[in-house]
Chains A and B, each alone.
Chain A
Amino acid sequence: MAAEGKTIDALSQFELTHALGPIGAAVNFTQSNAHMLLAVVIITAIMMWGMAPRAIVPGRFQAVAETFYEFVENLVVGQIGHEGKRYFPFVFALFMFVLFGNVLGLFPFAFTYTSHIAVTFGLAFLVFVVITAVALALHGKKFFGYFFPEGAPLWLAPIIVPVEVVSYLSRPISLSVRLFANMVAGHVLLKVFATFVVLLGGLGVVGPFLAVLPLSVNVLLVGFELLVAFLQAYVFAILTSIYLHDAVHLH
């Protein structure tokens, strides 16, 4: 798959194929959907089994569940404040789904569903709809004052209002493009250097020695990608919280 015809084929890893054989083909169930389901099953399993003992001194599994919970809770309460607790389930679900999508994609033969703009834009659009709905529900018509800051001279309105509207509309795009671009760039890099290993390895006697160089780069890259996977899930969650803060307080 990697070095057929001695070319670097870095993008075929993002192609969708049908999973589950003929049944999957009949309903267009792709490996991307399969990995989403897997992520949801793993997240549910961690939380259910982690919470089941309810021990005062947590065991390993309960500690994992509590770490995730407290991490996201600190993030949400720190950004939105105490009234932000009601949005905790939303941010927590988003964070875990993105995190497990990123991390599962690093396993061999796995597919990274967060490397598709359709998936990340779907998530970001959900965030956009929720923050707009929250702002409208809490503030009603005052929400539209968000697009024109108080105290600005009125004759500037034709300039300020379109700029603010476009700036507001750009939120889901930047949110989704950031996650998508990071995941695609990381996986392309991994694939390119992995192809170098194969191509250099075939260069006669010195080949295998030269191939060690891109291989060591790849080892470092996998570690870096793990960092990026966590970081991007964190960034996605914290930006969602910041937008929710804006929706709740309207500046």
Chain B
Amino acid sequence: MTERDEFDERLKQARQRRGLEKDASDPKAGQDGLPAGALQIGLRAGIEVVSALIAGAGLGWLLDHWLGSFPWLFLVFFVVGGVAGVMNVYRLFSPRRGAGK
């Protein structure tokens, strides 16, 4: 551990000498550059689920109003929204496809 710290320290000094050190390279940043604290991740996952539920229920409600079939499409799309929310959270933790492009 100390060896790596020493290397990081030396690398930092060398980068600073060359004027390459950037504060943006936060050590706590996750793989897609977002902060990876436990609370931040939890909040993000929760918001993903809730917003997918809102989008699903809203879409279902709108379609119901258009087609005049009130509770049914709303109920179906509420479930679809829940599935989409779980998928959003899954995507949050799985490595993004094509990120290396």
Which A residues contact B (CB, under 8 angstroms)? Answer: 71, 74-75, 78-79, 81, 159, 162-167, 169-171, 173-174, 177-178, 181, 231, 235, 238, 242, 245, 249, 251
Contact = CB atoms under 8 A, between A and B. Distances in A.
A74 B83 contact: no
B98 A167 contact: no
Interface of A is mostly: helix
Contacts of A75: 24, 33
Q: Secondary structure of the B side of the interface? A: helix
Contacts of A251: 97-98
Interface string B12-43: 00000000001010000000111100000001
A241 to B, nearest CB: 9
Nearest to A181: B47
B35 A177 contact: no
A174 B22 contact: no
A195 B57 CA distance: 38
A88 to B, nearest CB: 16
A170 B44 contact: no
A57 B8 CA distance: 28
Contacts of A171: 51
Nearest to A167: B84
Nearest to A231: B35
Interface string B66-101: 000000000001001101110110000000111101
Given A75-B24, A167-B87, 14 more contacts: A74-B24, A163-B84, A166-B81, A166-B84, A167-B88, A170-B51, A170-B56, A174-B48, A174-B51, A177-B47, A177-B50, A235-B34, A242-B32, A242-B96
B84 A74 contact: no
A79 to B, nearest CB: 7
A79 B99 CA distance: 8
A170 B55 contact: yes
A198 B51 CA distance: 37
